């Protein structure tokens, strides 16, 4: 018979074997294959030839791919900021409502999460159209003399981004805001602090970690969005995800698509690491 203490220590490790195996099978293995293919040569008659070349990575430094990468980072960053700016105040108001209204909004947000990216994109495509959407309604009431379609455009793509991520971010803030200590806010209001200053100087600093986490989550999420740029954006608004799909699938250039994917993954990890490092340094500075 084995030692019961040793068996008790081995149980947590055995529990972690299955998720570790699944992560290796469905994430690490495809990632390793993608890195391997990124060094292969493209075969005009097929997918690729086994080789070890740097040509696929060298193409990234051309003005075309470099500009698209910066555009992808910019659109993902702007979309993340807009979602957080809208979702945090909205959820701050919702958690102070009556119980039945809280349930109504939470169920509505959960229902929005059930909609796929394609459905949301088609909905906004119809609403932005000149013949049956918002422009036609504005022309009918006399607000817009010569209505035209609002999509494709960068603004329409950002609206799609916000709609796609709003419910997710709002529900991320729900438990944090619902469990907050309201006595600090009440004390500040009792001392005569205006409500807007209470929100900006008391509420926001206390939830800085949650806000940064939501920003990073949405930034990574929007980097991989494909449908919104394709349906609501112009070709000059497309992100790297669309270009990678076009090169890998449309042009059957798997090595180039894999190389671009690896570079974007490195960019993403670098930005996440930089934000995490900066956030930790600020926290240390505040403690000292």
Cα separation, 19 vs 25, in Å, equals: 10
Rounded mean pLDDT of 90-112?
90
Cα separation, 51 vs 41, in Å, equals: 6
Asked, for residue 190, whether it belongs to a domain, the answer is yes
Asked, for residue 138, whether it belongs to a domain, the answer is yes
Whole-number Cα distances in Å, 194 to 107, 130, 189, 198, 200: 32, 44, 7, 6, 10
**pLDDT value of residue 103:** 92
Which residues are bridge partners to 41 per DSSP? 49
Asked, for residue 283, whether it belongs to a domain, the answer is yes
Summary mean pLDDT of the chain: 84
Give the domain CATH number at 265.
1.10.3720.10
Instruction: Report pLDDT digits (tens) over 207-250.
Output: 888 898 899 889 989 988 999 999 999 989 998 899 888 888 87
**pLDDT value of residue 9:** 55
Residues 6+ apart with CB under 8 A from 173: 87, 88, 91, 92, 207, 210, 214
Our count of domains for the chain comes to: 1
Asked, for residue 133, whether it belongs to a domain, the answer is yes
Residues 6+ apart with CB under 8 A from 148: 130, 135
Residues 6+ apart with CB under 8 A from 69: 60, 240, 263, 264, 267
Asked, for residue 215, whether it belongs to a domain, the answer is yes
Cα separation, 84 vs 66, in Å, equals: 27
Asked, for residue 52, whether it belongs to a domain, the answer is no
Rounded mean pLDDT of 2-18?
59
Asked, for residue 4, whether it belongs to a domain, the answer is no
Asked, for residue 165, whether it belongs to a domain, the answer is yes
Residue ranges making up the domain that contains 250: 62-287
Rounded mean pLDDT of 26-44?
83
């Amino acid at each position: 018979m084995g030692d019961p203490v040793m068996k008790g220590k081995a149980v947590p490790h055995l529990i972690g074997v299955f998720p570790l195996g699944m992560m290796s099978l469905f994430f690490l293995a495809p990632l390793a294959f993608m890195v391997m293919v990124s060094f292969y040569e493209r075969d005009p008659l097929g997918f690729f030839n086994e080789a070890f070349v740097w040509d696929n990575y060298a193409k990234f430094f051309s003005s075309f791919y470099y500009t698209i990468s910066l555009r992808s980072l910019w659109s993902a960053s702007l979309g993340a900021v807009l979602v957080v700016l809208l979702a945090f105040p909205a959820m701050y108001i919702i958690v102070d409502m009556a119980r039945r209204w809280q349930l109504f909004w939470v169920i509505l947000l959960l229902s929005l999460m059930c909609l796929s990216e394609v459905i949301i994109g088609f909905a906004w495509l119809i609403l932005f159209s000149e013949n049956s959407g918002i422009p036609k309604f504005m022309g009918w009431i006399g607000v817009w003399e010569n209505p035209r379609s609002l999509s494709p455009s960068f603004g329409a793509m950002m609206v799609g981004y916000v709609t796609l991520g709003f419910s997710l971010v709002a529900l991320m803030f729900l438990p944090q805001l619902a469990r907050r200590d309201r006595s600090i806010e009440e004390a500040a209001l009792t001392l005569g602090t205006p409500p807007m200053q209470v929100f900006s100087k008391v509420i926001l600093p206390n939830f800085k970690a949650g806000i940064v986490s939501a920003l990073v989550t949405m930034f990574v999420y929007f980097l991989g969005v494909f449908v919104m740029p394709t349906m609501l954006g112009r070709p000059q608004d497309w992100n790297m995800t669309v270009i990678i799909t076009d090169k890998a699938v449309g042009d059957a250039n798997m090595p180039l698509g894999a190389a671009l994917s690896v570079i974007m993954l490195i960019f993403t990890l670098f930005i996440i690491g930089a934000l995490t490092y900066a956030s930790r340094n600020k926290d240390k500075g505040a403690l000292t």
